[in-house]
Structure 1
Amino acid sequence: MESSSSQQQLITPEDVLESLMNDGTIDAIRLKIITQLKANEELKNTTVKMVEQSKVLNTPGAEKQTKRELFDALRQELETSVLEKASKSVWELILDNNGIGKELSQTVEKVFCRLSGREPPLFPASVELEPEKGKEKETEENGGKEQENVMDNSDSSTKKRKFDEIGSEEGTDEVASR
């Protein structure tokens, strides 16, 4: 019976995203990411080197161009490579399991739990509820080999966690693209 009530309460990634957008969470996380990007000395230094080595600035006659002309030419020359480096840095922040990435995962989980009526955490570190149900089913199907299923279940719960993390990464990709 429990599965029928969970089917009625289907929460989509869009539902979670809409909630995060409406309550200001997306803006707050975006601000944290921007703050950390601005503090990223490696990214700053790389960008400065790229500008210093720019063909636009090192071409004879560049000093005669207006600031606007130089800026437009620099943007055309460097925009793609600078944005690629910035994008890579943003993804490192988002996927960091100790910083913003961890905060993002926890926030998404809390919102999902609130919307679905479940109690957090969905994936406790020690024992998971869902694999317990799976273990009972496997025990019945395999003629009562409960001891082996306990061992198999611990491996599968680890794999499930990784799969769920991958799913959350895809969700963040969707968030980033919006």
Structure 2
Amino acid sequence: MGSRIITPEDVLESLMDDGTIDAIRLKIINQLKANEELKNNTITMVEQSKVLNSHGAEKQTKRELFDALRRELETQVLEKASRAVWELILDESDLGKEISETVERVFCRLSGQEFLPPPPPTTSYVHESNKVEEAQETEAEKVKDIEMSESSTKKRTFSEMNVKEQN
């Protein structure tokens, strides 16, 4: 008797059937609602909106303003919210970890295997990970410094511009 191959669709169906997907969705929504940076960014975008700051905006109905704001800002707001959701999902220490472990647990249950949660990272792993991040930040700063110095050598001073204009 051959063992059945468990597909991603099987795991997803199980997660949907037992309500896990809805529970994860609710956690994501609640974390987005609590995200002050996302709220403040959206408020700033609305305050700086061309629609609200245009002449005659005060004469428009709430519905007209809302529709115009949606057309103007919907894509930008949704992009930022989408990034925030992906950060939550990919976070290896909080919700992302919970999602990964839940999916693995369901896969193991469906395939008849025992679920063994991953061991916590060792101190040396964390230390190495920090070293890699520091090296990447240092490299990024070097590149930025080089770009800044290159662009500053190409810039003309005000007096150089005046001399060229007078010639």
Normalised by the length of structure 2, the TM-score is 0.69
Aligned pairs (5 A) from 1:17-36: 17-36=12-31
Which consecutive residues of structure 1, in runs of 5 or more, have no partner in the other structure?
Answer: 127-178
RMSD, matched Cα: 1.5
Which residue number corresponds to residue 54 of structure 2? 59
Residue equivalent to 2:10: 15
CA shift digits 1:136-163 (9 cap, x unpaired): xxxxxxxxxxxxxxxxxxxxxxxxxxxx
* Paired residue total: 120
Alignment partner, residue 100 of structure 1 = 95
Q: For the pair shown, which has the larger CA radius of gyration, 1 or 2? A: 2
Q: Which 4+ runs in 1 deviate beyond 2 A?
A: 123-126
Q: Deviations over 1:101-139 (max 9, x none)?
A: 000001001100110000112x7549xxxxxxxxxxxxx
Shift of 1:9: 1.7
- Distance in 2 of aligned mates of 1:48 and 1:114: 45
CA distance in 2 between partners of 1:66 and 1:26 (Å): 39
**TM-score of the two chains, using structure 1 as the length reference:** 0.65
- 2:111 aligned to 116, 122, 126, which one? 116
Matching residue within 16, 19, 42 for 1:47: 42
Question: Within 1, Cα distance between the matches of 2:89 and 2:118?
Answer: 21
Q: Shift in Å at residue 22 of structure 1?
A: 0.5
| Percent of matched pairs sharing the same residue | 76
Structure 2's unaligned 5+ residue stretches are 121-167
Counterpart amino acid of residue 11 in structure 1? I
